[in-house]
Structure 1
């Protein structure tokens, strides 16, 4: 049993859904983590978009109170975070990488007569997303990557690449003149960058390769 995610992304920038499976401790077995990942991604893989901004996540675990108080079989609430966050990331998830998580809360309540499950609430910028089928990461300098919609018209893609390079060049000039990160950040896109190591599993193209492909098209 599971809940599908509807009305996503919402205009309010918050989405809540349930997954009817127990959480797994970060010290749990690989097979248990894989089962959790499969359950979560059965919910998220049909969503056509990926969030590309920073997010806040709240995890509420519905579990039997007796098990929490009178046994040592259930995981600690802090230990269930990493497996859930990992399962939410990647091409079949809802996030690019858990480096997007700015704030996270984990708690539990008695499930009473309900099945054991986890409820996940994600708060986000309503406009900070890309379609899964079109997203590609453009690798710029120093292994920095920017998401781009590869289904744009060729001329629009060229313009986007020009803007990416211009922004980085302007940022570097500010650094060279002693400017701070925050001063240099003002000339960059509102869309955050990702390090190359954070976008595993996604299509990544070096900017020179994309330019060559566009010129040869």
Structure 2
């Protein structure tokens, strides 16, 4: 476990990788997807990305995203100033995605929960983001690439210094993927097949524009 203080006193992050959790407490009120206040959007995005960039790993599996908005009950119930819960989700989710953050793409989210709770400070509300994941479905950011395993489908993998290590890592992924395809041909395309085979999820190339994508031969070079 480690705690990271955000820049400019904007909150803190708790890294619980071994327990499959990242906890981010941000002293900034959320903004909506429709908001025209680009400065506020960038401020929030920068705060989240700055915190997540300090983690040395990326989440490569399915992730649960839990958002708690803390704001004063009177402001929430007795004014029209507070945003709808669904409208504040997208900017915060997007802030967690990308090469410097922890989500490869937002389609990794298989569970999203958002709520508001009463907060003592009327003038200053805040947000708490909790990401839950399988600790075994992570990979170091250093030397991360995506290698093609099938047409337009890629898997995250470390580009080791040793070619022998690269071959060993790729062969393991290829074996798992082949087993998955066999199960699909046998039982049909069910979500359970990937989890049953403990298979690393694939990513379509259209979701990987920020990342280095290689075919098998390029990976072995």
Q: Same fold (TM over 0.5)?
A: yes
Question: How many residues were matched structurally?
Answer: 210
Q: Does the C-alpha gap of structure 1 residues 68 and 147 become closer, same or farther in structure 2, counting only changes over 3 Å?
A: same
> Paired residue for 1:142, among 143, 147, 151?
151
- 2:142 matched to 1:133? yes
Per-residue CA deviation, residues 67-100 of structure 1 (Å, 9 max, x unaligned), is 2223222210111111111100111212111111
Aligned counterpart, 2:219: 210
TM-aligned CA deviation for residue 50 of structure 1? 0.9
CA contact (8 A) 1:44 1:94 kept: yes
CA contact (8 A) 1:137 1:203 kept: yes
TM-aligned CA deviation for residue 174 of structure 1? 5.8
CA contact (8 A) 2:14 2:23 kept: no
Aligned counterpart, 2:21: 14
Per-residue CA deviation, residues 104-154 of structure 1 (Å, 9 max, x unaligned), is 111112221383110111111122111112211112222111000113521
TM-score by length of structure 2 reads 0.83
Aligned counterpart, 1:118: 127
Q: Tell me the distance in 2 between the aligned counterparts of 1:30 and 1:157.
A: 46
Q: Does the C-alpha gap of structure 1 residues 185 and 93 become closer, same or farther in structure 2, counting only changes over 3 Å?
A: closer
TM-score by length of structure 1 reads 0.84
Segments of structure 2 that go 5 or more residues without pairing to the other structure are 1-8
Aligned counterpart, 2:110: 102
> Paired residue for 1:194, among 185, 196, 203?
203
